[in-house]
Every structure is written in structure tokens, then in C-alpha cells.
């Protein structure tokens, strides 16, 4: 059997987007992923679903797997012919014992590579608004550990040089020794007024940043209860933060939202919310499933040219429709001369991904909007294809038919309640405070409510319910709950804009 290979990969500081492309590719190829406490577990999602995942980090305050055991594990897996991704927080070669792992693999004759990562100190500086070097105040920078091996005392650092010879200092693992670090620097000539920033959980929505002069920071950190993991940045550059901070003053920074949309459609919403600084937790309360039978759609696909138009009202409908066309060996030419009607811009975007431009998008992005637009120009004697979900409201079909049109409305997807999610939601609610729960359709709410039962009543006191539009709101109210927010028009962009308004003006 040929020997495998170990990739020592820097996972970056926490925010999943800060992994390198090469790191992502290595994860995607790995047979085994060995990961640490500080590597964001979300990154495991880049791995293959059949990859083995081994956690070697600290467990609720206990110790991590001893380094020797980790070394042996990496070597054993590689010897078994496997590709091993060793995912380490930040950069593997910055205070991460990556050097020891690489040296061991080298000794054992096991091939390895190192994929650098964004180290916590650099990321913390960027996300706190601190340029680490700046021509006006400093040209030098040092990375230090504030937690030396027990046999070497902190005093082994060259305090004289650190105090007066280097502009910016970044201490990793320095929280327990913060007082000593500050005292030593001042004793060796750093002015007591030098600004210091302590940044905890950098790049994540729970990031906390505290700034104070060198003489006061240790006491302030204790008072604020800031604990590891945190980096300490010392130097005049910290003064730029007030001007350059951009992350922790985003409008939704520090807010935590539960997103209940199906996984396939959550990403866009998550990106919008994270772009405003929010923390998002996704537990889909609906899943998309194929229809019981394709018969109705298949029949329509055979005679597409007999339709005046195809009405598409959701991204799911769009993908089900076009994928089915593909399965049936049809391409876009089968739609030549058929009008494409999209309920709104998001649906239009999904249609565009299949290479078509809708002929009609109503001003009001709802079924009613489509209806008004079609009725305004007359539909008598026309035939429409309206691929939809099982539980779609029938308003379009009924009203168009009443106006003399023929409407075929085959079911092209179903939404089903996911199994085994109830425990996950209960666990989440017990562990974390949520600011709000976002519902983007009636069924996301109905399933959520069915999962939680009577507990939902208690929840409303703790977290607001946000709704995408009037129909979802109606469902929520019918169940006896309050809707804290509903945007003017039913799009995710408007929902996020309304959320920003809600928190910045209230
Ligand atoms: N190899 C890692 C450092 C590991 S040492 C890197 O390059 O970032 C662990 C220390 O890193 C922690 O004690 C803390 O000082 C720092 N650290 C790691 N992630 C951090 C984060 N998200 N925010 C603040 N500090 C972090």
C-alpha cells in the first residue's frame, strides 16, 4: 500500500471565510480530518461526507489529546495510505505546535505539506480596526507568547527590547499573565499611557474588544470578564481603532438569529445577515422533497409549445422544473415562444441561472402581483403552466381560470418536516440566547411550532419572531403569536434591511 500524506492546514481565526482556497481543497480531498479546539468546526463541511473526523482539542475545559498521541495518530493514518488533513486554528506555524508535528512526520519519512492560515493576531487586528504597522507610528512588529513552557519563565523574554525597541507587540495566550506583561513593559520603559487592545474571539460575531492604557488594561479585563481565547495588541497603532473599526459597529453585530429555511436556500440569507455583523444559526424546519409523482409535469413537458406562459413562483419550483426538463432530455428550445413569468427578482435570478430571462416580473412580488399583471392584459383562452409546491395557495389557478384561462398546476416539489431536529432545537434554546427567529414561509413556522409544541409560548418572551411577509405573518398570528417585524416587500434583502432598521432605531 502506498503511503498517504499529511496536510497541516491553517484554519484561520474563526470566521469560515478566512480559510485559504488551498486549505479548502485539501479538506475536500482528505480521508481523515484531525481538528483542534480553535479550528471552526463549520469548516468540516468542506470535507467529504465519508471522511473520518477526529477531534483532538480540549473538551469542556479538560485537556486536549497529548501532542505525542496526535503525532502518532497523524503518522498512523498516513501509513495506512490515507490523506490526512490536520486542521489547526490560525496558522499552523504560529504558536500552534505545527513545527513539532512536521518534524515528527519528517523523522518518520511521511510526506507532508503546510498550508498557511490567517493567524489570530493578524485577524484580530484587522477586525478590531488596528493596522499593525503604520508609517506614522511604527515600523516593527513582534508576535509573542504570554504563556511560556513552565520550565522557562516569562522573564526569558527580552523585556528591554520589547519595551523600547519594537513598535507593535502581539501576545498570544497572554491572558493569565497580562498583569505581569504590562508591569514588565512599563518597568522597562514603555509609557504607561501606551494603548492596548484585548480582542477575544476575533472575527466571530461574539468578538469582544477592550481598549485601555497599559497601566489599566489588566484590571479592566478582569472587570469586563474577558477570558481566553484572546490576543493582546500593544502599541500606538491601537489608537487608530476608533477611526478604523468597521466590524463590531456593523448594525447587527452581537445579534444572534435562528434561521429556519431549508439548507439549500439559507446561504444567501446567512451571507446578508453576516454582512451586517450578525451571528446566524441554521436549523432548517423544512426540507425539499420531490413530488409523489412526476406524471403531471411530464405530460405538460411533452406539449410545452401549447402554453402561452410558464409561471414560476419560487427558486425550488424553478430548479425542479428545469432539472426535470433536463431529465426528460429537453433543452431550452422546448420553451421557444413560451412566455416566462417570474413572481419576483429572486425567482428571476434562479431562472437566469438556467439561461433564460423572464418576460414578466410584477411590481408586487406575490401571486397576487402575477395575477394583476396577467389580468390587466387579458388571459381569456390562454393556457398557462404553473409548476408549484403541494401546499401552494390556489389563488392564481382559481382566479386565472375564472378569467377564462386554462391553468395546469403540476406539483414539482414538496416541503416536508425534517426528522430528528427537535432535540437539536431544544438543545440550542437551552444553551444560547437568541435575539430573533426568522420565518420565511408559513411552513417554516408551522413545522417549528409542531416541533416545539407548548415550549413555543415560553420562547416568545425570549426571542422575537420575524416574518418575511403577510402570509407568513398571518400563520404566525393564527397560532397566537406576535410578529415583531415584517418587511414592506417579501424579499430577504428587504427583511434584512428591516432588521437593521429594527435594531438601529429601536
Ligand atoms: N496557531 C494559532 C495560535 C494558537 S495559540 C494562530 O496562528 O492563530 C492559541 C492562542 O491563539 C489563543 O490563546 C489566543 O491567544 C489566540 N487565538 C486563537 N484564535 C483566536 C481568536 N479567534 N480570537 C482571539 N485570539 C485567538
Q: Among residues 121, 126, 119, which one has the least CA distance to residue 246?
A: 126
Which span out of 109-123, 269-283, 357-371, 430-444 was modeled with the highest average pLDDT?
109-123
> Sorting pLDDT into bands at 50, 70 and 90, what band is 48?
very high
Do residues 463 and 432 lie in contact, with contact meaning Cβ atoms separated by under 8 Å? no
| Shared-domain flag, residues 132 and 231 | yes
| Total of domains in the chain | 4
| Shared-domain flag, residues 280 and 335 | no
Specify the residue with its C-alpha closest to ligand 1, atom 11: 172
Last residue of a domain, one of 117, 133, 157: 117
Please state, in angstroms and rounded to a whole number, the distance separating the CA atoms of residues 441 and 313. Answer: 13
User: The domain that contains 62 carries what CATH number?
Assistant: 3.40.1010.10
Please identify which residue in the block is written with the cell numbers 417579501. 490
| Shared-domain flag, residues 101 and 126 | no
Please state, in angstroms and rounded to a whole number, the distance separating the CA atoms of residues 227 and 295. Answer: 60
Average pLDDT rounded to a whole number, residues 188-193: 97
Say what the pTM is.
Answer: 0.79
- Given 5, 31, 36, 435, the catalytic residue: 36
| Shared-domain flag, residues 276 and 425 | yes
Q: What confidence tens digit (pLDDT) does each residue in 408-462 have?
A: 999 999 988 887 778 888 888 888 889 999 999 898 999 999 888 888 888 888 8
Please state, in angstroms and rounded to a whole number, the distance separating the CA atoms of residues 17 and 15. Answer: 6
Last residue of a domain, one of 378, 396, 414: 414
Q: Among residues 292, 297, 286, which one has the least CA distance to residue 259?
A: 286
| Shared-domain flag, residues 14 and 81 | yes
Q: Which residues 6+ apart lie within 8 Å of 46 measured at CB?
A: 19, 24, 27, 28
- Does residue 58 carry a catalytic annotation? yes
| Shared-domain flag, residues 406 and 492 | no
Task: State the first-to-last Cα distance of the chain, in angstroms, to the nearest integer.
Answer: 65
Ligand 1, pocket residues at CB < 6 Å: 13-14, 38, 88-91, 94-96, 119-120, 124, 172-173, 199-203, 228-231
Ligand 1 pocket mutation pick from 115, 130, 172, 227 by most atoms within 8 angstroms of CB = 172
| Shared-domain flag, residues 162 and 307 | no
Do residues 154 and 181 lie in contact, with contact meaning Cβ atoms separated by under 8 Å? yes
| Shared-domain flag, residues 278 and 422 | yes
Sign of the torsion formed by the C-alpha atoms of 175, 117, 167 and 188? positive
Please state, in angstroms and rounded to a whole number, the distance separating the CA atoms of residues 37 and 282. Answer: 21
| Shared-domain flag, residues 380 and 329 | yes
| Shared-domain flag, residues 409 and 422 | no
| Shared-domain flag, residues 433 and 404 | no
Q: Among residues 133, 128, 117, 122, which one has the least CA distance to residue 85?
A: 117
Q: Which atom of ligand 1 is nearest to the CA of 96?
A: 1
Average pLDDT rounded to a whole number, residues 146-172: 83
60 pLDDT higher than 60: no
Please state, in angstroms and rounded to a whole number, the distance separating the CA atoms of residues 440 and 255. Answer: 18
* Structural domain span for residue 401: 294-414
Last residue of a domain, one of 92, 117, 142: 117
Please state, in angstroms and rounded to a whole number, the distance separating the CA atoms of residues 343 and 364. Answer: 8
Question: Environment class of residue 101 by beta-carbon count within 10 Å: exposed (0-12), middle (13-18) or buried (19+)?
Answer: buried
| Shared-domain flag, residues 338 and 453 | no
Mean pLDDT of the chain: 93
Amino acid at each position: 500500500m502506498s503511503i498517504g500524506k499529511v496536510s497541516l492546514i491553517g484554519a484561520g481565526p474563526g470566521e469560515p471565510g478566512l480559510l485559504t482556497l488551498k486549505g479548502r481543497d485539501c479538506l475536500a480531498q482528505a480521508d481523515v480530518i484531525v481538528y483542534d479546539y480553535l479550528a471552526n468546526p463549520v469548516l468540516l463541511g468542506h470535507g467529504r461526507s465519508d471522511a473520518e473526523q477526529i477531534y483532538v482539542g480540549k473538551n469542556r475545559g479538560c485537556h486536549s489529546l497529548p501532542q505525542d498521541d496526535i503525532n502518532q495518530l497523524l503518522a498512523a493514518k498516513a501509513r495506512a495510505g490515507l490523506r490526512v488533513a490536520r486542521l489547526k486554528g490560525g496558522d499552523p506555524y504560529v504558536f500552534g505546535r505545527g513545527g513539532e508535528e512536521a518534524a515528527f512526520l519528517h523523522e518518520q519519512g511521511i510526506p507532508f505539506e503546510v498550508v498557511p492560515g490567517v493567524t489570530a493576531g493578524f485577524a484580530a487586528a484587522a477586525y478590531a480596526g488596528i493596522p499593525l504597522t503604520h508609517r506614522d507610528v511604527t515600523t516593527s512588529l513582534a508576535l509573542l507568547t504570554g504563556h511560556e513552557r513552565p520550565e522557562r519563565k516569562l522573564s526569558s523574554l527580552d523585556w528591554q527590547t520589547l519595551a523600547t525597541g519594537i513598535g507593535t507587540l502581539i501576545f498570544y495566550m497572554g491572558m493569565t499573565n497580562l498583569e505581569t506583561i504590562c508591569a514588565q513593559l512599563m518597568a522597562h520603559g514603555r509609557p504607561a499611557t501606551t494603548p492596548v487592545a484585548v480582542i477575544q474571539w476575533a472575527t466571530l460575531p461574539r468578538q469582544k474588544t477592550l481598549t485601555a492604557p497599559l497601566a489599566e488594561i489588566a484590571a479592566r479585563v478582569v472587570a469586563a470578564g474577558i477570558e481566553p481565547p484572546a490576543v493582546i495588541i500593544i502599541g500606538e497603532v491601537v489608537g487608530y481603532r476608533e477611526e478604523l473599526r468597521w466590524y463590531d459597529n456593523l448594525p447587527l453585530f452581537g445579534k444572534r438569529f435562528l434561521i429556519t429555511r431549508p439548507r439549500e436556500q439559507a446561504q444567501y440569507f446567512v451571507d446578508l445577515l453576516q454582512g451586517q455583523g450578525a451571528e446566524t444559526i441554521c436549523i432548517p424546519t423544512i426540507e425539499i422533497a420531490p413530488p409523489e409523482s412526476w406524471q403531471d409535469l411530464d405530460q405538460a413537458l411533452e406539449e410545452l409549445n401549447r402554453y402561452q406562459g410558464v409561471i414560476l413562483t419560487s427558486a425550488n419550483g424553478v430548479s425542479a422544473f428545469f432539472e426535470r426538463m433536463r431529465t426528460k432530455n429537453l433543452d431550452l428550445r422546448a420553451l421557444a415562444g413560451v412566455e416566462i413569468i417570474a413572481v419576483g427578482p429572486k425567482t428571476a435570478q434562479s431562472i437566469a441561472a438556467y439561461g433564460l430571462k423572464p418576460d414578466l416580473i410584477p411590481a408586487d412580488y406575490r401571486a397576487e402581483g402575477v395575477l394583476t399583471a396577467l389580468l390587466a392584459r387579458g388571459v381569456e383562452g390562454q393556457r398557462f403552466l404553473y409548476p408549484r409546491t403541494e401546499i401552494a395557495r390556489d389563488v392564481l389557478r382559481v382566479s386565472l381560470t375564472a378569467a377564462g384561462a386554462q391553468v395546469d398546476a403540476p406539483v414539482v416539489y414538496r416541503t416536508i418536516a425534517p426528522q430528528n431536529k427537535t432535540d437539536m432545537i431544544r438543545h440550542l434554546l437551552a444553551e444560547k440566547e437568541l435575539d430573533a427567529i426568522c420565518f420565511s414561509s408559513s411552513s417554516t413556522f408551522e413545522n417549528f411550532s409542531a416541533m416545539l409544541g407548548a415550549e413555543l409560548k415560553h420562547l416568545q418572551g425570549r426571542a422575537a419572531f420575524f416574518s418575511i411577509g403577510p402570509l407568513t405573518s398571518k400563520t404566525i398570528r393564527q397560532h397566537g403569536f406576535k410578529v415583531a417585524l415584517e418587511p414592506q416587500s417579501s424579499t430577504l434583502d428587504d427583511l434584512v434591511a428591516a432588521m437593521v432598521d429594527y435594531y438601529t432605531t429601536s
